[in-house]
Structure 1
Amino acid sequence: MRRFSWVNLLLVLAVLALAVVPLAFGLGSGEEPFSGADALAEQAIVDDHPDYEPWFSPIYEPPSAEMESALFALQAALGAGLLGYYFGVARTRQRQRDAAGRQRG
């Protein structure tokens, strides 16, 4: 295998290890070991100021934590797709400009 292939293989294995190891060994604490920063911040506010009342309520409240995670993952995937599309279009346009410049010059 070429060096480039080995590097890619090692990177994929590292990403898989980062995803699987915490789940396999139960790393985390509490009832929801991998809760997000929003939930942790909310708990800290309630602990520090028990009489605090939020200024507004969410437009849509997902029925479960799993659904909330799924919606967040969908949002991240759509954002990554749009960003990848933009960079692909920008690169293609640059290549076309370069090719047109070589033909003229």
Structure 2
Amino acid sequence: MKNKKQNIILIILVILLVTGPLIFVQSGHFGGSDDKGTEQIKKNDPSYKVWAHPLWTPPSGEIETLLFTLQGSLGTGIIAYIFGYARGKNKSQREAEQLAEEETSNHVSD
């Protein structure tokens, strides 16, 4: 019952995190940190010339968003795998220790 209540709370929080920005951002324009950084640099030094350029520019904004999302998803998957592997390894190690303790207690009682 505790897990069910916890899962419901987590689902509600995820829904709020996803829908919150859509509700509270009125302009409909989501600017990235790159845009803000470029604006600030141009404001502080109008003569600044860009010295780094992308190797490849996606043909459309949708493809750029898709690639950005895929990159984030891949990174999240790798991090989740590492955490899951570490947790499984710890659980396996604890079970092995418990089994060893049970065997030593069985040998002592025999």
Q: TM-score, normalised by structure 1?
A: 0.73
Q: How many equivalent residue pairs?
A: 101
1:27 counterpart = 2:32: no
Matched-pair identity in %: 33
Q: Which residue of 2 aligns with 1:17?
A: 16
Give the drift of 1:72. 1.8
Q: Is the 8 A contact 1:62 1:68 kept in 2?
A: yes
Q: Amino acid of the residue matched to residue 87 of structure 1?
A: F
Residue deviations 1:55-83, cap 9 Å, x none? 22112222333322222221111111111
Unaligned runs of 5+ in 2: 102-110
- Bigger share in helix: 2
Change (3 A) 1:63 1:34: same
Residue deviations 1:2-61, cap 9 Å, x none? 4543343233233323323443x57244xx710111111112212332221122211222
Runs of 4+ in 1 over 3 A off after TM superposition: none
SS in 1 for 2:67: helix
Q: TM-score, normalised by structure 2?
A: 0.71
Q: Greater Rg, structure 1 or structure 2?
A: 2
1:38 counterpart = 2:37: no
Unaligned runs of 5+ in 1: none
